[in-house]
């Protein structure tokens, strides 16, 4: 069952040719022309080995290899192909190409499996187009109602439902993922941090994934003339936003316990040098592996917005967006993967994921496991993202042997 890393390398290169920002990292937004190109490449490869492709609720794609007992629950593996703006070549792609290569080996080597094996590509994992991360898996697992797809829009006002239909999906398909349909879910992913590299490990096995809460915060002030409005007679939305941004950092540092909070996007209106900002909208991304700490961080930030805007007599709006709870992954799968890693004379590191993954939502539906491979200098969500091919190959081998064990067993 030796995986062929030159094929994996070719897959990574072919997928990353579909890129809206050549020379400036990789940008492949969900359902864009580039995204559809990458999906086309992967589905063609999967059709070639005889997998049956289906379009699933939420814009996700599944390719199935029939098992000898085709009515039983499936073993699923995969990841995502969408990227952040100007992102890297490996985030998501590594999990998809590992699943693709594992599927090829299963077919070529005629490896017997009782259970169906499904290769999946989740849509809109990053939330870079529709401002809603893990959207495909949220819909498919029934965490988010299908009707929401007609309300969630990209910056051009195109709804997710419209974009899906244009990309050839049907919105009405209601066959959600349920526990009885699945035996397990496995995802290979780059670590996106520097722990494995610093500590000299080639494989990380994920025990838990941090919870995430995304919010949009809008500060409503009054646009006025920058020259004629005295300093004590202004309703400057950006001055309040600046204080809130500072408070967010202080709150996260004070709460500690792995709390991280980020304001990654800000828009100031009307956005002119000689006009006092009347309206400022910014994003907020808060994460913690503990739900109570995550919730209390969000509450403290809400309070800070209320206090700062109150003092300055400004309006504000806080809109909670996508959320993923902190989750523990399957001990059963973890133990199996530890065994499979050691069979290769490699010692894995058990770790927590600070990044969000579709597997966090799948963990509620089925036994779920994640394999991390090292990220050079921990860089990710940027063009410098890099993972060695040998490490991706090792992650793929581990995925393959774990999936084969799970698909063959009767338990
Ligand atoms: C996904 O990459 C996330 O953690 O935001
Ligand atoms: Mn990812
Ligand atoms: Mn990502």
> What pLDDT is recorded for position 173?
58
Residue 190 CA: which ligand is closest?
Answer: 2
> What pLDDT is recorded for position 410?
61
In 3D space, the residue among 65, 66, 102, 99 whose CA is nearest the CA of residue 80 turns out to be 99
Architecture of domain 5-209+326-408: 3-Layer(aba) Sandwich (3.40)
pLDDT in tens, 175-189: 899 999 999 999 999
> What pLDDT is recorded for position 239?
98
326 in ligand 1 pocket by Cβ < 6 Å?
A: no
Residue 132, both tokens? 């809603």
| Contacts of range 62-65, beta carbons closer than 8 Å, 24 or more positions apart | 62/118, 62/119, 62/120, 63/103, 63/118, 63/119, 63/120, 64/116, 64/117, 64/118, 64/119, 65/103, 65/106, 65/107, 65/113, 65/116, 65/117, 65/118, 65/119
Question: For residue 267, how far is its CA from the centre of ligand 2 (angstroms)?
Answer: 26
355 in ligand 1 pocket by Cβ < 6 Å?
A: yes
> What pLDDT is recorded for position 101?
98
Take atom 1 of ligand 1 and give the residue whose Cα is closest. 356
133 in ligand 1 pocket by Cβ < 6 Å?
A: yes
Residue 127 CA: which ligand is closest?
Answer: 1
Q: At what angle are helices 93-108 and 5-16 packed, to 10 degrees?
A: 140
191 in ligand 1 pocket by Cβ < 6 Å?
A: no
> What pLDDT is recorded for position 162?
96
Which atom number of ligand 1 is nearest to the Cα of residue 91?
2
95 in ligand 1 pocket by Cβ < 6 Å?
A: no
Name the helix (H) or strand (E) containing 371. strand 367-373
User: In the chain, where does the domain assigned CATH 3.30.70.360 lie?
Assistant: 211-324
Distance in Å from the first CA to the final CA of the chain? 23
In 3D space, the residue among 48, 21, 67, 47 whose CA is nearest the CA of residue 408 turns out to be 67
User: In the chain, where does the domain assigned CATH 3.40.630.10 lie?
Assistant: 5-209+326-408
Q: 105 phi and psi, to 5 degrees? A: -65, -40
Question: For residue 84, how far is its CA from the centre of ligand 3 (angstroms)?
Answer: 7
Query: Residues in the chain with pLDDT < 70?
Result: 171-174, 410-411
> What pLDDT is recorded for position 411?
57
Q: CA-to-CA distance for 314 and 86, rounded, in angstroms?
A: 35
Q: DSSP states of 199-253 as a string?
A: HT-S-EEEEEE-EEEEEEEEEE----BTTTS-GGG---HHHHHHHHHHHHHHHHH
> What pLDDT is recorded for position 171?
65
3-state secondary structure of 158: coil
3-state secondary structure of 264: coil
193 in ligand 1 pocket by Cβ < 6 Å?
A: no
Please state which of the four CATH numbers 2.102.10.10, 3.30.1310.10, 3.30.70.360, 3.40.1190.20 is assigned to the domain occupying 211-324: 3.30.70.360
Take atom 5 of ligand 1 and give the residue whose Cα is closest. 356
Are the C-beta atoms of residues 326 and 291 closer than 8 Å to each other? yes
């Amino acid at each position: 069952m030796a995986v062929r890393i030159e094929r994996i390398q070719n897959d990574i290169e072919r997928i990353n040719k579909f890129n809206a920002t050549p020379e400036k990292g990789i940008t492949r937004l969900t359902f864009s022309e580039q995204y559809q190109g990458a999906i086309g490449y992967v589905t063609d490869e999967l059709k070639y080995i005889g997998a049956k492709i289906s379009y699933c609720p939420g814009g996700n794609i599944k390719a199935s290899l029939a098992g000898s007992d085709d009515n039983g629950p499936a073993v699923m593996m995969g990841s995502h192909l969408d990227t952040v703006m100007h992102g890297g070549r490996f985030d998501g792609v590594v999990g998809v190409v590992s699943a693709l290569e594992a599927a090829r080996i299963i077919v070529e080597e005629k490896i017997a499996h009782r259970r169906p094996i499904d290769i999946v590509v989740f849509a809109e994992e990053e939330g870079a187009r529709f401002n809603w991360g893990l959207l495909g898996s949220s819909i498919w697992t029934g965490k988010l109602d299908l009707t929401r797809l007609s309300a969630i829009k990209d910056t051009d006002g195109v709804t997710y439902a419209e974009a899906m239909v244009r990309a050839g999906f049907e919105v009405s398909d209601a066959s959600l993922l349920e526990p009885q349909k699945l035996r397990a879910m496995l995802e290979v992913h780059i670590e996106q941090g520097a722990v494995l590299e610093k500590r000299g490990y080639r494989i990380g096995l994920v025990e838990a994934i941090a919870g995430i809460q995304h919010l949009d915060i809008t500060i409503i002030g009054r646009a006025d003339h920058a020259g004629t409005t005295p300093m004590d007679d202004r309703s400057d939305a950006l001055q309040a936003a600046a204080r809130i941004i500072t408070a967010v950092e202080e709150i996260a540092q004070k709460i500690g316990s792995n709390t991280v909070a980020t304001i990654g996007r800000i828009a100031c209106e009307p956005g002119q040098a000689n006009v006092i900002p009347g309206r400022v909208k910014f994003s907020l991304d808060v994460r913690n592996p503990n739900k109570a700490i995550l919730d209390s961080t969000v509450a403290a930030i809400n309070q800070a917005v209320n206090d700062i805007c109150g003092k300055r007599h400004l309006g504000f709006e806080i809109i909670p967006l996508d959320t993923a709870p902190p989750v523990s992954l399957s001990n059963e799968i973890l133990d199996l993967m530890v065994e499979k890693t050691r069979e290769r004379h490699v010692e894995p590191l058990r770790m927590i994921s600070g990044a969000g993954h579709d597997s966090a939502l799948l963990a509620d539906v089925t036994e779920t496991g994640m394999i991390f491979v090292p990220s050079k200098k921990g860089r990710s969500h940027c063009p410098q993202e890099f993972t060695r091919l040998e490490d991706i190959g090792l992650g793929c081998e581990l995925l393959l042997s774990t999936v084969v064990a799970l698909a063959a067993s009767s338990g």
